[in-house]
A and B are shown apart, each in its own frame.
Chain A
């Protein structure tokens, strides 16, 4: 038994506050998304916003309950909980309720339970438990195998449902492995080739080039020894690009925005190249080489896809990627989603004034596409605020994770960060059309009890560890 410390004073209230703000934004956005004249009260529990409020209140109680639970419980039961979740994932394949041709839900006494939600939490705990084993050698083949099993067993079972969206979330745990010492090259190439293959098939060339420029830029900053220089070159890049864009705005606004972007990026890039030559930065050729290699690889994926694969293989990939077999018309939906967000402008149309989100039937308006409503009604300012909150939350969690004394708590913290991050990245990326349509919710904002509760439990277990970090003695 460690020293008894008052939980309530040690909880990171900043995180709690950000979390509450997000829940509030979610609630009023759902109200706005499904609002109609007939049901005007935001507390009307026959409507989704009313239900969401109930779930938020319940989530607050759940959070309090988690904070009052002894952390030893999570430590002690982590493997057991993981095993139990795996059991649930197997069971749901046999006894689950089939919705849209996938068996992901248990229907129990009127309550829907999605084992995949618990699997994220259970995997984060089990991973933390395993990796925090003292003097664990990460690159030992056996350990790598066990680690991979912990992560990919649920992925496999969830793919059998099939629920591609939920299974992709688990890949985020690689971030945790990286933090715990998995060699960066593995991560780098896995992510790179995964993303490139996918994107090469999904994106048009323009987006692809824009992305590569950014990645190269990121690579530069990461590889570069001198952070000062990197940041400066970054600023130079931005300034030069902005000047080019401004010139376009003034003299030739009718030029397609994509062309403007490319010219701006090339101009910025050339400036960087000049600087790197002037300062004799050794990494410049590496970055340039990376860009060229990535472009070639992208092209080769397209080539293989179009010329080497058999038609039926192509169509399978297309179906997985959401091109074909598109009963809800997803490319159309994405366009609607972009119109809604795009029409918001700088400051948005104002609360309840969004028309696009109401009239054009953006799908899953209150769940997966809730960001449309925010973008339309609160404009770029609103989008910035929400993204800013997420960035703040994630960075804050990194800070909290790093201050943990217990490896378990730290690893678990990174697990939470990874899961939250991939949800944000995929969800918002999807609504603005840079990521294929994968139906996963925006944490704390999207409508839905199980999603809110799952994220709350996950986050507050970590906050509980953090609040009790001083009593850790092992």
Chain B
């Protein structure tokens, strides 16, 4: 039986043979006729050299350069291309030992015979110049240009953050990175990594048997140039930052200054700090270990992460809440006998004229007054229960950005704590707690804790009479549409009309004719409004706290200062705030005596001395 279509086997045969004939024809062209491939490959080897882009530069708000790049060179090795070489000369040029050479070559061989490994990282330009001339004697080695960070000053380490090499885990999470790439690890370097890093390029070179680059392969048609990272313009004022760090020397604590109208961070000091150059290059890991084991914890960014009690400065918020809720009005007065006593509980107050209404109560920081209004608020019958009253209070407090992350453009920001009703339910039992048990909240103590940046932001909201703009450190990104300067106003739950009495009190606290708590902060003509605080510290001396903004109308700066273990708010924090405001608004400092007093104050050594004394 003859299959009717068996003729088709010839056609199928042709359909199979012809494409393969075409392949053979193409292969003949490729392998025999076309000589360009052999030229590029016969005894030569192509080398891919990654072009690392320089990271974007970082400027302060006035265009002063803060972070730039310095060229360094990584010496690479391809073990499969090594030939015997003069080890002694090699070691002498690079200032390394023979053991180092053996160890690194072994590592490289274990990784791959035919792929590049880093042999020696970050050779200086000087060594590179010498090496470059002799490199032909060392086949298998070549040099890869890199850049490292360099800093024009020794300020703002916590803001800028640092850059490090990616590790295996980071590569798995971000497939765009390869071994040896740098990545921002903290601070702005981390938040704006994508902008700063640029785009890696690749150059393909022809390399001859003597390990010399003969030129770009195919006239560089396969090359992709590296694209520079985008520059950042910070809102930071380098002068104020440097001054703040100087004032905070030998003190533990933090300063955060914000421009209220924009939410731009003018200064963010966390003390003690470190020189940013310590975390650059080959010395980084060793310095990091030293810094990490320092008991004063200089790597810890107190401005964003330290939890402090709000202290008396928080009274302004309680005042605002009471006004908003109609518990008091501007002229409601309370008498102060020098203490607030209910049963066996006594909250002390200082001596001052009495009775006091809102402005005066803020001015003299009257504990009695604020205990009264706080309890009147929580116990007010319109809420039905203390729990409800408490929830109303907590809602107002949270509207100032307390108790939650502000979502600034910093990594690692913490939330602070505004307690929930559930916390007290757990502690005392449901509906078993009374306003009296929460009385420490009236004066900013108790379960309430805040970070310095939250306090500064809260102050900015007061300065703005009822709104804030999420604080941020980056103002502009070059080559990017993102404009950080215009951001949304976030309104607090307090109407703007209620701010005046409180601000009047803050103004009087600094400038008041009769007994302000922060007279030391007064500067003629600057109209500073402020509120001292003393944050009770169960572990030692109280922390000195001060919040302030200036001028009173159209404020240009709002800030919070925390100095640990420095006692009264008026002792340390208020003068520091005042000096910074003066420096920022006038460009100079008139009160040299005050400046010297602050500069000489040393709370770190004192502690060490005390600790030593106790040991003896």
**Chain A residues in the interface with B (C-beta under 8 A):** 36-38, 175, 178-181, 184, 211, 214, 218, 221-222, 245, 257, 261, 327, 332, 335, 338-346, 355-356, 358-361, 375, 379-380, 383-384, 387, 390-391, 394-395, 398, 401-402, 410, 414, 417, 421, 424-425, 428-429, 432, 434
Contact = CB atoms under 8 A, between A and B. Distances in A.
20 contacts: A36-B112, A37-B113, A38-B113, A179-B9, A181-B4, A181-B5, A218-B14, A222-B11, A339-B46, A341-B27, A342-B36, A343-B40, A345-B38, A356-B45, A359-B80, A383-B27, A387-B24, A398-B12, A417-B12, A429-B19
A358 B80 contact: yes
B8 A178 contact: yes
B222 A332 contact: yes
Contacts of A380: 27-28, 31-32
B339 to A, nearest CB: 70
B45 A398 contact: no
Given A342-B38, A343-B38, 9 more contacts: A175-B15, A184-B8, A222-B14, A335-B222, A358-B80, A359-B114, A360-B46, A391-B16, A434-B23
Nearest to B81: A359
Contact of A387 (B20, B42, B45): B20
B211 to A, nearest CB: 13
A232 B113 CA distance: 54
Contacts of B6: 402
Nearest to B23: A428
Given A180-B5, A257-B33, A339 B41 contact: yes
A178 B15 CA distance: 12
Given A214-B18, A257-B33, A339-B40, A383 B24 contact: yes
B538 interface: no
Contact of B31 (A344, A410, A434): A344
B91 interface: no
A111 B556 CA distance: 69
Contact of A361 (B31, B37, B115): B115
Nearest to A181: B5
A346 B27 CA distance: 10
A384 B23 CA distance: 9
Contacts of A346: 31-32
Contacts of A221: 14
A342 B42 CA distance: 10
A211 B30 contact: no
B16 A394 contact: yes
A339 B48 CA distance: 14
B478 interface: no
Contacts of A410: 3
Given A37-B113, A380-B28, A214 B22 contact: yes
Contact of A395 (B13, B42, B47): B13
A38 B109 contact: yes
For B6, B40, B46, which residue has the most chain A Cβ atoms within 10 angstroms?
A: B46
A133 B26 CA distance: 42
Contacts of A361: 48, 115
B93 interface: no
Contacts, number: 136
B30 A432 contact: yes
B3 to A, nearest CB: 8
B41 A356 contact: yes
Contact of B16 (A340, A384, A401, A421): A421
B29 interface: yes
B24 A384 contact: yes
Q: Chain A: interface secondary structure?
A: helix
Contact of A432 (B5, B9, B15, B26): B26
Contacts of B31: 341-342, 344-346, 375, 379-380, 383
Contact of B34 (A38, A342, A395): A342
Contacts of B179: none
A339 B8 CA distance: 39
A346 B28 CA distance: 8
Contact of A359 (B33, B34, B37, B46): B46
A218 B17 CA distance: 10
Contacts of A335: 222
Given A343-B37, A428-B23, A395 B30 contact: no
For B17, B24, B27, which residue has the most chain A Cβ atoms within 10 angstroms?
A: B27
B208 to A, nearest CB: 12
A158 B16 CA distance: 25
Q: Which 9 A-B pairs have the closest CB atoms?
A: A342-B37, A343-B41, A36-B113, A380-B31, A342-B30, A383-B27, A358-B114, A181-B5, A218-B18
A432 B38 contact: no
Contacts of B36: 342
Nearest to B1: A405
B352 to A, nearest CB: 71
For B5, B6, B12, B38, which residue has the most chain A Cβ atoms within 10 angstroms?
A: B12
A410 B6 CA distance: 11
Contacts of B46: 339, 356, 359-360
B12 A425 contact: no
Interface string B181-217: 0000000000000000000000000000000000000
A345 B3 CA distance: 46
B45 A391 contact: no
A100 to B, nearest CB: 11
Contact of B114 (A36, A184, A379, A384): A36
A410 B5 CA distance: 12
B258 to A, nearest CB: 43
A45 B45 CA distance: 30
Contacts of B13: 395, 398
Contacts of A432: 23, 26-27, 30
Contacts of B22: 211, 214, 434
For B8, B14, B48, which residue has the most chain A Cβ atoms within 10 angstroms?
A: B8
B80 A402 contact: no
Contacts of B42: 343
Contacts of B80: 36-37, 358-359
B45 A359 contact: yes
Interface string B39-74: 011100111100000000000000000000000000
B432 to A, nearest CB: 54
A100 B271 CA distance: 47
Given A338-B37, A345-B31, A395 B16 contact: yes
Contacts of A341: 27, 30-31, 37
Contact of A425 (B19, B32, B48): B19
A361 B208 CA distance: 18
A383 B20 CA distance: 11
Contacts of B3: 410
A211 to B, nearest CB: 7
B28 to A, nearest CB: 6
Contacts of B9: 179, 398, 401-402
Nearest to B17: A391
A327 B178 CA distance: 13
Contact of B23 (A338, A342, A402, A429): A429
A410 B42 CA distance: 48
B33 to A, nearest CB: 6
A387 B23 contact: yes
Contacts of A384: 24, 27
Nearest to A221: B14
A434 B14 CA distance: 19
For A338, A339, A342, which residue has the most chain B Cβ atoms within 10 angstroms?
A: A342
Contacts of B37: 338-339, 341-343
Nearest to A178: B8
B14 A424 contact: no
A137 B49 CA distance: 63
Nearest to A395: B13
A421 B15 CA distance: 10
Contacts of B222: 332, 335
A382 to B, nearest CB: 9
A178 B12 CA distance: 9
